[in-house]
Chain A
Amino acid sequence: MARKKKNVSPYKDAKTWKKDFKKNGVIYLIFLPIAAYFIIFNYIPMVGILMAFENYKPTKGLFGSKWVGWANFAKLFGGKEFPRAFRNTAIMAVMSIALGFLPPIILAILFSECKPKKFKRVTQIMSYMPNFVSAVVVCAIVTEFVSKDGPITHFLMLFGMKQQNLLASKVEPVFKLIYCLIGVWVGFGYGSIIYTTAISNVNGELKEAAALDGANRFQRIWHIVLPSIKHLVIMQLTMAVGTMFMVGFDKVLLLYIPKTYEVSDVLYTYTYRMAFGNKIDYGVSTASSLFQSILGTVLLITSNQLSRRFASYSLF
């Protein structure tokens, strides 16, 4: 009776770490700087989490500052504006994913289907450019465009909207929509690069064969291109869900005004005012970051589980 073949790793032959290192030494060497990067910049700074539980004083350091337990979290969650900031963050996070996730994929498909090379290159560069413009400049442009006399405002007035500064509007979801559309404009070109690369690796023969069988362009995209990049899309979505609560602090801070706090204040801006207003409060700001990190981790694990269950693919 033939023994059942186990699904073993191709690296199983290297029985020990030593042997594996000898065999793949170069690869380990290449990995070394990456590992060092993550250890130095991602793991060692995690010690700073302690600040969330301390009345942190720079002069006393992490281990000399007074331990206050959950007091910083109580201060953070106890603020009257916390529920409002949390609600706005959640809505803006969901809107950002809903509006911002598909455009890069669509753009990548459009680029892959675009035949004139010159036109393709120019449009690709144009779509990447907003990503390299600083948030301050982007927000200044947007502020002008949606101001009382801005071109977008005048355009919308053609549809009956009254003349107004859209960023000063407390009507839902005007501010949130502006914020999310900025994100789409800035990121959809740059975000399409990874999909464009993935699509370029799709076997061209499959598409040719499908075309010979009578599949039109849409059918080729639907049945060949999209399934080919499915895993990448799921991975990107999982990652996006994991970081969705990190709603852009800089853009909101630059765009919001006290009048619109009700609809625009997010966790980062709320924390900023609380921790860096009249006096720097390292404890509260660390507590806020830790809270958002934990939330992000929970969302990441959840979306990964969901993706494993419904799409039979997961990151880990």
Chain B
Amino acid sequence: MKKRWLALLLALVMAFSLAACTKTEAEDSKDTEAPVTEGETKADGQEEATTKAPETTLEEVSAEDVEGDEFFGKSTDFTAMISNGISTNLFSEYEDAPVLQYNMAKEWDPDGNGNTRKVNIDVWTPPAGSESDYANTLASTGEYPDLMNIQIMSMSAAEMYEDGMILDITDYVMKYMPNYRAFFERHPQYAGRETTYVDGERRYLCIYRLDEQLPGAWGGMLYRRDWIVKYGTNPETGEAFTGAWDEDGNYTDDVVFPSGETYPKTVSDWEWMLEIFEKALAGEGIEDGYAYQLASSGENGAGGDMESGFGAANTWYIDPESNEVVYGGTKDGFRSYLEMMNNWYQKGWVNKDFFERAGEMFFVIDTASVYSGKVGAWYGLTSQLGNALANADVPWMKDMCVFAAPTPINDVYGDESVQGFEPFLYYAGGLMGAQWVVSDKAADKDLPALFTFLDHFYDVDGGALELTFGLTKEQVEEAKTIAPKAYDAYSKMGLEDGAYWKNDKGEFEKNPVYYPNDPNEIGGACGLVRFAGLTEETRFNRKYLPYYAEQMALYRMYDATKAGIGGEITAQLTPDQSSNFAEVYNNVSTYCAQVVPEFITGELDIHDDAAWEEFCETIDSYDVQSYCDDLNGIINE
């Protein structure tokens, strides 16, 4: 009998806990409420946007929709979640970032009628290493902030909006963010991508972090230039090469590749170079080195690097010829890429155990070998360029000089249909970055003030410079009285003269205190790198040495912005499309991670039509086309 009572008790506990999880009355009533008609706001101040999408076009959504003064007097204290913190010992909380402090001390007048107010931002920083867990926990517990960078969240803006978690901010962006919208007028190729279709209407569900130009490359293919100088000979004359560092720290040599270029332009250039590395390894007596470092997936970079010169890449991209989204893993170009890698592997150029290094990121594979100078070419960081890895104590690293290489053009493998392609896809990013959303928590706060505040950081001649570089001398002076915390931080950094200034040519120059090297990591601290805004470096004089400037330019010599599918496109997927993609992507990536290395090592014969057909059929069976169709639908819209 007791057992029965105990069982009943436990069942009751479960029933109670079930009941406790049910919705509150308020939530229930929210679900059953009649749709709000256009122009109405709910009792709690939250705009109901789902059913009142205006029938006018986006440009016609006028500012009259928002009466700024109605918000005057409401709270201007906002919470914001950034994607990750910065490495600095100048402050521990990101709201103490000087630029934020300075702007929080200023008065904002959204409607220009003298109703000024300050905006206060309390920044939430996820713990390093568990950013996504942190953000997703906030979302699942409903304890999320007013403003969020959703880069680290597992939900798209469209999904959040459908769940009622974020606001439709169209009216506010239209009225209070002219600087933000001006970016899309300056960059018409991105126009339309900043909005999401909701019930057939283009709406702003988020604002993007933007870059006025493609940011400088942080990584790419690198190779040992000094080994080519030492072990190579001119392909035409057969003469030895010469190269040296001059007194100014610049590097010059007379290296010429078989294509006639001074950099490895084609696949045949690469093979010529890898042969030299083979000689160099033997010449230097390095037994455990190798000529070319390959990532465990069998592909370097994050999609397209070393591949798109074959006219295809093992991912989804916008085909430059058809302007349609395609999956390139089953195309002949990718097969030819695999033939090349298989050939390189058979020749002993590639690290034999590449497929075992599954836990390493593609840009830091076998760093022990790279940093001990035993690798000829690898995907690495731009900080490794030049003589950064040289080591006078190691014989083969004394004169080490690392140069950059763009994705090569295939001129060796396959037939003409897969040769001669200008690379169109590699890890380069685009001008539109992380998405920021405004949650329903901010619905009854002073949103005009918030959007005016945010728009300041998109002002190409104003706040964007603060965000990119930091404060000017005049602003630092002003901060002395209005934002002492900002002034103190700048004093500690030694930036009393400001973080940047204009030179005689009208170019921006950073304060030499943190330029060109930034050992104290103040570069991130003096600007506002983690916040929503525009990065404006077009007029920035980087003061690169000539050889370094050439290398950085090589990484940007081909346009990869048209073929890449950025977050601004995938953000428009419906929740069902997004779930479908997750399933397709997981299946394809798991399968490719197993089979692609097998083609390269020769375990599967890439020359065998039957094996290739089976690979293609399996990929197709995962319905890769469905994702292409979804994305084409969005692009065509």
Would you call the interface of chain B mostly helix, strand, loop, or mixed? helix
Using A279-B579, A280-B136 as known contacts, say yes or no to A62 and B21 having CB atoms under 8 A apart. Answer: yes
Please encode chain B, from 9 to 43, with 1 for each CB lying within 8 Å of some chain A CB and 0 for all others.
Answer: 01001100110011100010001000000000000
Is A144 among interface residues, defined by CB-CB distance under 8 A? no
A157-170, CB under 8 A of B: which get 1 and which 0?
A: 00000000101100
| Complex contacts, A281 vs chain B, CB 8 Å | 579, 582
B136 contact set on A, CB distance < 8 A: 58, 280
Q: Does B296 contact A (CB under 8 A)?
A: yes
Known: A47-B14, A47-B17, A168-B353. A64 touches B358 (CB 8 A): no
Complex Cα gap A79–B398 (Å): 53
Chain A residue at minimal CB-CB distance from B16: A44
Per-position 1/0 for B534-552, Cβ under 8 A of A: 0000000000000000000
Partner among A39, A43, A64, A258 whose Cβ is within 8 Å of the Cβ of B355: A258
What separation, in Å, do the CA atoms of A46 and B17 have in the docked complex?
A: 9
Say whether B629 faces chain A, with CB atoms less than 8 Å apart.
no
Contact across chains for B139 and A58 when beta carbons are under 8 A apart: yes
Instruction: Choose, from B247-255, B481-489, B588-596, the stretch at the interface.
Output: B588-596
In the complex the two chains form, is B597's CB within 8 Å of A59's CB? no
- Chain A residues, Cβ within 8 Å of B142: 59
Contact of A59 with B160 in the complex, beta carbons under 8 Å: yes
Residues of B within 8 A of A165 (CB): 353, 356
**In the assembled complex, A80 has its CB within 8 A of some CB on chain B:** yes
In the bound complex, what is the Cα–Cα distance between A278 and B136 (angstroms)? 14
Contacts of A47 in B (CB 8 A): 14, 17-18, 21
Q: Which of A255-278 contact B (CB under 8 A)?
A: 257-259, 261-262, 273-274, 277-278
Chain A residue total in the interface (Cβ 8 A): 34
A57-81 vs B, Cβ < 8 Å mask (1 yes, 0 no) = 1111111100000000001000111
* Nearest neighbor of B166 in chain A, beta-carbon distance: A59
Please tell me if B521 contacts chain A, counting CB pairs below 8 Å: no
Q: Are B163 and A258 in contact, CB atoms less than 8 angstroms apart?
A: no
A168 proximity list for chain B (CB < 8 A) = 353, 355-356
A46, A47, A79, A281: residue with the most chain B Cβ atoms closer than 10 Å: A47
Tell me the nearest residue of chain A to B297, going by C-beta: A258
Minimum Cβ distance to chain B for residue A54 (Å): 12
| B140 partner, pick from A17, A43, A58, A81, beta carbons under 8 A | A58
A258's partner among B18, B160, B587, B590 (CB-CB below 8 A) is B590
B586 within 8 A of A: yes
- B contact residues around A274 at 8 Å (CB): 583, 586
For residue B22, which residues in chain A have a CB less than 8 angstroms away from its CB? 63
Bound complex: CA A61 to CA B358 (Å): 36
Given known A165-B356, A259-B597, contact A273–B586 (CB-CB < 8 A)? yes
| Smallest Cβ-Cβ distance to A284: which chain B residue | B583
Contact between chains at A261 and B13 (CB < 8 Å): no
CB distance from B405 to the nearest CB of A (A): 27
Q: CB distance B586 to A277 under 8 Å?
A: yes
Q: Within the complex, what minimum Cβ distance (angstroms) separates B439 from chain A?
A: 10
A247: shortest Cβ distance to chain B, in Å?
Answer: 19
Q: Is the CB of B13 within 8 A of A43?
A: yes
A148 at the interface (CB under 8 A from B): yes
Q: With the chains together, A277 CA to B585 CA distance in Å?
A: 9
Contact B2 A17 (CB under 8 A): yes
- CB-defined contacts of B457 to chain A, threshold 8 Å: none
Write out the residue numbers on chain B whose beta carbons fall within 8 Å of the beta carbon of A61.
Answer: 21, 23
A68–B2 CA distance with the chains assembled, in angstroms: 38
Shortest distance from the beta carbon of A122 to any chain B beta carbon, whole Å: 36
Min CB distance B139 to A, Å, is: 5
List A contacts of B353 (CB < 8 A): 148, 165, 168
Tell me if B356 and A257 are in contact (CB < 8 A).
yes
- Would you give the 0/1 interface string for B338-368, flagging 1 where the beta carbon is closer than 8 Å to chain A? 0000000000000001011010000000000
**CB-defined contacts of A58 to chain B, threshold 8 Å:** 136, 139-141
Question: How big is chain B's contact interface, by range?
Answer: 35 or more
Please state if A258 and B23 are interface contacts (CB–CB under 8 Å).
Answer: no
Residues on B with beta carbons closer than 8 Å to the beta carbon of A75: 583
Are A277 and B23 closer than 8 Å at their CB atoms?
A: no
| Interface hits, B462-518 → A, CB 8 Å | none
- Tell me if A259 and B163 are in contact (CB < 8 A): no
A178: shortest Cβ distance to chain B, in Å?
A: 14
Contact B23 A63 (CB under 8 A): yes
CA distance A58 to B22 in the complex (A): 13
Q: Which residues of A contact B140 (CB under 8 A)?
A: 58-59
- Report whether B139 and A259 are in contact in the complex, using a CB–CB cutoff of 8 Å: no
**CA of A165 to CA of B5 in the docked complex: distance in angstroms?**
58
Taking a contact as CB atoms under 8 Å apart, the answer to whether A258 and B586 are in contact is: no
- Which of B18, B139, B296, B590 is in CB contact (< 8 Å) with A257? B296
A46 proximity list for chain B (CB < 8 A): 14
Contact of B154 with A59 in the complex, beta carbons under 8 Å: no
Cβ of A202 to closest chain B Cβ, rounded Å: 33
Chain B 147-196 interface residues, beta-carbon cutoff 8 Å to A: 154, 159-160, 163-165
Question: Which residue on chain B has the smallest CB distance to residue A165?
Answer: B356
Give the CA-CA distance A286 to B593 in the complex, in Å. Answer: 26
Residues 20-41 of chain A, each 1 if its beta carbon lies under 8 Å from chain B, else 0: 0000000000000000000100
In angstroms, Cα B353 to Cα A116, docked, is 48
Would you give the 0/1 interface string for B555-589, flagging 1 where the beta carbon is closer than 8 Å to chain A?
00000000000000000000000110111011101
> Are A258 and B14 also in contact (CB < 8 A) when A279-B578, A279-B582 are?
no
Determine if B14 and A257 form an interchain contact, defined as CB atoms under 8 angstroms apart.
no
Q: CB of B444 within 8 A of chain A?
A: no
Bound state CA distance, A99 and B142, in angstroms? 47
Is B131 located at the chain interface by the 8 A CB criterion? no
Q: Report if B122 contacts A (CB, 8 A).
A: no
- Contact for A39 among B10, B159, B582, CB less than 8 A: B10
List of B residues within 8 angstroms of A17 by Cβ: 2, 5
Interface string of B43-75 (1 = CB under 8 A from A): 000000000000000000000000000000000
A261's partner among B2, B21, B581, B590 (CB-CB below 8 A) is B590
Closest to B579 in A: A279
Quote the shortest CB–CB distance from B391 to chain A (angstroms). 24
Residue of B21, B585, B597 ringed by the most chain A CB atoms within 10 A: B21
**Chain A: CB-nearest residue to B440:** A59
CA distance A61 to B139 in the complex (A): 11
Task: Give every chain A residue within 8 A of B23 (Cβ-Cβ).
Answer: 61, 63-64
In the complex, residue of chain A having the shortest beta-carbon distance to the beta carbon of B17? A44
Contact B10 A278 (CB under 8 A): no
| B598 at the A interface (CB under 8 A) | yes
Kindly report which residue of chain B lies nearest to residue A45, judged by CB atoms: B17
The distance in angstroms between the C-alpha atoms of A81 and B591, with both chains bound, is: 10
A262: which B residues are within 8 A, CB to CB?
A: 594
> Would you mind naming 9 contact pairs between A and B with Cβ atoms under 8 Å apart?
A43-B10, A61-B21, A148-B353, A168-B355, A259-B597, A261-B594, A277-B589, A279-B579, A279-B582
Residues of B within 8 A of A (CB): 2, 5, 10, 13-14, 17-18, 21-23, 27, 31, 136, 139-142, 154, 159-160, 163-165, 296-297, 353, 355-356, 358, 578-579, 581-583, 585-587, 589-590, 593-594, 597-598
New A-B pairs, 11, CB < 8 Å, besides A57-B159, A280-B154? A39-B10, A47-B14, A57-B163, A258-B355, A258-B594, A258-B597, A259-B356, A259-B594, A259-B598, A280-B136, A281-B582
Q: What 7 A-B pairs are tightest by C-beta distance, nearest first?
A: A58-B140, A258-B593, A279-B582, A59-B163, A277-B586, A257-B358, A278-B582
